[in-house]
Amino acid sequence: MGKIAFVFPGQGSQTVGMGKSLADENENVLKLFKQADERLGYSLSQLIFEGPQEQLTQTMNAQPALLTTSIAVLEAFKQSGITADYVAGHSLGEYSALVAAEAISFTDGVYAVHKRGEFMEDAVPNGEGTMAAVLGMEREALQAITDKITESGHSVQLANLNSPGQIVISGTKQGVELAGVEAKMAGAKRVLPLEVSGPFHSQLMRPAADRLLSVLDEIKLQDASVPVIANVSATPITASGEIKEKLLQQLYSPVLWEDTVRKLLALGVDTFIEIGPGKVLSGLIKKVDRNVQLFAISDSKSIESTIEAIKEAAK
């Protein structure tokens, strides 16, 4: 059997009620939700378990909610004794990966992403920036379009390189719209506007990175116990100084998710376990390589079936 990677979802995977069944069944899991409430000074767990969805979806709530739920699922999964050779996460999910790799403590992680969400929402006035998914286009061709639009005075860039044929662009409303029109003319299958509160992973997020630095200076970062594949470089990192640097760059740089998956495959990973709500990353990984073993765990039922399947495969 090859190597195992734990991967953690990013913003957009949040749903009301996520993690509740695990918290009801497992005292250690419930303790994590309570620790998150204490660190933030408000009842994040109530928002996760009961909603409302609109409030849960706000960036500064969605980010700590997803990190808390992902780490809660990981806590329940730990009893299996199955460990990761590598960890990675999509955007916000990179913080969950760093908690899993013991580079950041759980409560510091919750605090950092709550602040990160706040800074991201503040960086650009509401309604001025946006994102769109471009389907069925090569990155080089789309890069040429975004470069051309940026040179004409509008701001737009590649933000999430998710899988072959699925790239998200980010920037000012006008920049994204113009790039979308050009992309369609150049043969893109579809351009789908995303419901987001800002132009994430674009240069417009630099003010958020400046503010995030003071938060990362405040918390304790240590070397990771297992290599983390960084979003901005798609390379394995473990040193705390490099982790900090990459987390700051991540706010205004593209998330190289397809490259991250390819890097993990090259490192000998043949089993990916998505830890947390939803199956978004599993879908993206499948588009890169159909032959890997994929599991998505979010409750005790999916945890049990995953443990059985991995132990069976290891025989």
Active site residue ranges: 91, 201
Is residue 129 within 8 Å of residue 198, measured between CB atoms?
A: yes
Cα separation, 37 vs 49, in Å, equals 13
280-288 vs 257-266: helix crossing angle, rounded to 10: 60
> What tokens appear for 158 in the block?
């590649």
Dmax (CA) of the chain: 59
Tell me 255's DSSP state: B
> What tokens appear for 302 in the block?
């999916």
Separation of CA 235 from chain center: 16
Nearest Cα residue to 30 out of 61, 59, 71, 66: 71
> What tokens appear for 287 in the block?
């588009």
